[in-house]
A = this chain, B = another copy of it.
């Protein structure tokens, strides 16, 4: 009886707006072009600025737009492919590794990492900071956790106090020290590696390294390096979710470029 509800799922304004803008981006804008500012755009579409921003946020999340405070909103280039795992499994910092070793930090070791490392009680952990950039653009920031047991040659001089109940971070050092950690790590045989990928939001330090605001969406890649039946190292890498696409397998990244 009642009137058959004819096509009335009132699509949210911001959703419709996003579609309209998306089409406009495809047909009327070139990569790098600057859009009108938010107040003008909102007025043009007859919506409040908050509503327009909801649409822009979606488009930025999808990598279609790039917004920068004090500058404006520009049309983003297609996401770049970033090789994360290829067939040959190697230690971080091996030859031809595009990551840049920055140094070793002295932060806490997150509980989740401690769980993966399953270190001997109170065993110290080296923390190496690395960064990945492409064409001058920051792409990813990584923290590599190496328990002292994986690099026995380094335990000579500076022994950190062993805290009960958890891994202790070793004192910070320069890039030279970080590289020596990697060098020692390479003496081990790499038996395999396991990875997980999940969505996260950038912490304050990652945000700075990635040239984004805190809370920006990132893809968190956690890698567990296995050697002799034990976890020799754990890497937590955060990739800018807006600008890059992770590639796995033997694909040349360009093959899947859009």
Q: How far is the CB of A78 from chain B (nearest CB, A)?
A: 10
| Contact string against B for A residues 74-109, beta-carbon threshold 8 Å, 1 for contact and 0 otherwise | 000001010001000000000000000000000000
Minimal Cβ-Cβ distance residue in B for A54 = B215
How long is the Cα–Cα vector from A193 to B81 in the complex, in angstroms?
A: 16
- Whether the Cβ atoms of B249 and A192 lie closer than 8 Å is yes
- List the number of copies, as a whole number: 2
Residues in B whose Cβ lies below 8 Å from that of A200: 62
Selected from B18, B196, B217, B249, the residue in CB contact (under 8 A) with A81 is B196
Residues in B whose Cβ lies below 8 Å from that of A219: 197-199
Selected from B115, B194, B215, B251, the residue in CB contact (under 8 A) with A249 is B194
Of A135-143, A157-165, A171-179, A239-247, the one with at least 4 CB within 8 A of chain B:
A239-247
Residues in B whose Cβ lies below 8 Å from that of A258: 112, 115
- Whether the Cβ atoms of B85 and A248 lie closer than 8 Å is yes
- Whether the Cβ atoms of A215 and B15 lie closer than 8 Å is yes
Using a CB–CB cutoff of 8 Å, the interface residues on chain A facing chain B are: 15, 18, 58, 61-63, 79, 81, 85, 112, 115-116, 192-201, 214-215, 217, 219, 222, 224, 241-242, 244-251, 255-256, 258
Instruction: Jot down 28 A-B pairs with beta carbons below 8 A, ordered by A.
Output: A15-B214, A61-B199, A61-B217, A62-B201, A63-B198, A63-B199, A81-B196, A85-B248, A192-B250, A193-B249, A194-B247, A194-B250, A194-B255, A195-B248, A195-B251, A196-B247, A196-B248, A196-B251, A196-B256, A197-B197, A197-B219, A197-B246, A198-B244, A198-B246, A199-B219, A217-B217, A224-B256, A248-B248
